[in-house]
Amino acid sequence: MVEFEKHTCINCRFYQPGAHYDCHENVDELVKDKNRPNFCESFSLSDKPYSKPDPSLSSQKAKQAFDSFFNI
């Protein structure tokens, strides 16, 4: 992989879905496609790869929390 190809939002340590522009840094412009290479000056390669959360796991955690709250 060419070094520039790693320069994507999802490979950045500041990438955080849900944050302003999905970034913890103070960025001025929205990068629409987080998977495509870009020229963001705040980019810093993350030490761990981003992986989407598994929705089935979050629903299981919610059910467990509900059950424990009501002692089911």
pLDDT of amino acid 71: 80
Residue 57 has pLDDT above 70, yes or no: no
Residue 5 has pLDDT above 80, yes or no: no
Tokens linked to 65: 């929390």
pLDDT of amino acid 37: 93
Task: Answer whether 0.75 is exceeded by the pTM.
Answer: no
- pLDDT tens, position by position, 6-55: 899 999 999 999 899 999 998 888 999 999 999 898 899 988 776 666 66
Tokens linked to 43: 């980019």
pLDDT of amino acid 11: 93
Mention every residue, 6+ apart, whose C-beta is less than 8 A from residue 39. 7
